C-alpha cells in the first residue's frame, strides 16, 4: 500500500471541508491550517476557493503571509483552487490594491474573468497528465492571462488557461473538490510524492 500523506488545508476562509473530504477519500490524513505552527511537518498544502481578498486580509491579520510564502517557495507542494489559485499567483489583476498574494507561481491571473454570462458553469476538460477528461465546476472563476517560461499549461477552456503547474505548485481556476471526480487531487498527490522522493 502506498504511504499515507499529511495534507494541510488552509482554513482561514472558503471551501475547506470539501478538500478535506476528497483527501480523506483518497486515504490521506488532513490538518486544518489556521496558524503558522500548523505548517510544521506537512507533506503538501491545499489553498481552497472562497474570496481571495478576504483570505489575504485574514492571512495578514494572523501573520501568516510570510511563513506561508516561505514554506511554499521553500518547496512545500501547494495546490490552489480558484481563490487559492489567486493567492498563489505572482500577479493578480482586478483585485483590491491592498490584497497580497504569495508569489509562488509565475502567472498573471485575472479575477472573475469569465464575465456574467459564464459566471458559474460546469464542463469537462482535457487535462495534460490525466488520462480521462476532468469534471470542472467554475464559480466566479479567475483565468490565467500570462504564464512564465517555467510554467506548464495543463488545461484550457476555449483559449483561456484554467490549470497550470510550475514545479511543485499546481493551480486550477475551477473546483475539482465539488465533483466526485478526484483525478486532479490524485495528480496533486502524485506531485507531493515526487517532491518527497527528491529530497
Ligand atoms: N471570485 C473569487 C475571488 O476573486 C474566487 C471565487 C471562488 O473561489 N470560487 O477570490
Query: Please, which pLDDT band fits residue 135 given cuts at 50, 70 and 90?
Result: very high
Crossing angle of the two packed helices 183-198 and 16-25, in degrees rounded to 10: 70
* Cα distances (Å, whole numbers) of residue 28 to 43, 157, 169, 185: 10, 30, 19, 11
Q: Could you count the other beta carbons within 10 Å of the beta carbon of residue 137?
A: 19
For ligand 1, the distance from its centroid to the CA atom of residue 55, given in whole angstroms, is: 10
pLDDT score for 92:
98
The reported pLDDT for the residue numbered 198 is 64
Q: Which residue has the cell 517560461?
A: 149
Q: Tell whether residue 139 is among the known ligand binding residues.
A: yes
Q: How far is the CA of 4 from the centre of ligand 1 (A)?
A: 30
Beta bridge partners of 107: 147
Q: What are phi and psi of 54, to 5 degrees?
A: -70, -45
What pLDDT score does 116 carry?
A: 78
CA distance 12 to 35: 9
Q: Is the pTM of this model over 0.85?
A: yes
For ligand 1, pick from 52, 56, 84, 101 the residue to mutate: most ligand atoms within 8 Å of CB: 52
> How many CB atoms within 10 Å of residue 160?
17
Active site residues: 82, 175, 177
Comparing 22-26, 83-87, 192-196, the range with the smallest average pLDDT is 192-196
Task: Pick the closest to residue 171 from 82, 72, 75, 44 (CA basis).
Answer: 82
| Alpha-carbon span 102 to 79, nearest angstrom | 13
- Separation CA 98–CA 177 (nearest Å): 29
Amino acid at each position: 500500500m502506498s504511504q499515507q500523506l499529511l495534507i494541510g488545508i488552509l482554513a482561514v476562509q472558503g471551501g475547506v471541508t470539501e478538500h478535506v473530504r476528497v483527501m480523506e477519500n483518497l486515504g490521506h490524513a488532513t490538518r486544518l491550517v489556521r496558524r503558522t505552527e500548523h505548517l510544521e511537518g506537512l507533506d503538501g498544502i491545499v489553498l481552497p476557493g472562497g474570496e481571495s481578498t478576504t483570505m489575504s486580509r485574514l492571512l495578514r491579520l494572523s501573520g501568516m503571509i510570510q511563513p506561508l510564502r516561505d514554506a511554499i517557495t521553500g518547496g512545500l507542494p501547494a495546490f490552489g483552487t480558484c481563490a487559492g489559485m489567486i493567492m498563489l499567483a505572482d500577479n493578480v489583476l482586478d483585485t483590491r490594491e491592498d490584497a497580497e498574494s504569495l508569489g509562488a507561481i509565475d502567472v498573471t491571473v485575472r479575477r472573475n474573468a469569465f464575465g456574467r454570462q459564464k459566471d458559474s458553469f460546469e464542463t469537462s476538460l482535457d487535462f495534460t497528465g490525466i488520462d480521462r477528461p476532468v469534471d470542472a465546476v467554475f464559480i466566479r472563476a479567475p483565468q490565467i492571462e500570462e504564464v512564465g517560461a517555467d510554467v506548464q499549461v495543463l488545461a484550457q477552456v476555449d483559449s483561456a488557461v484554467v490549470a497550470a503547474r510550475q514545479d511543485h505548485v499546481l493551480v486550477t481556476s475551477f473546483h475539482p473538490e465539488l465533483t466526485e471526480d478526484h483525478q486532479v487531487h490524485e495528480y496533486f498527490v502524485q506531485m507531493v510524492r515526487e517532491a518527497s522522493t527528491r529530497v
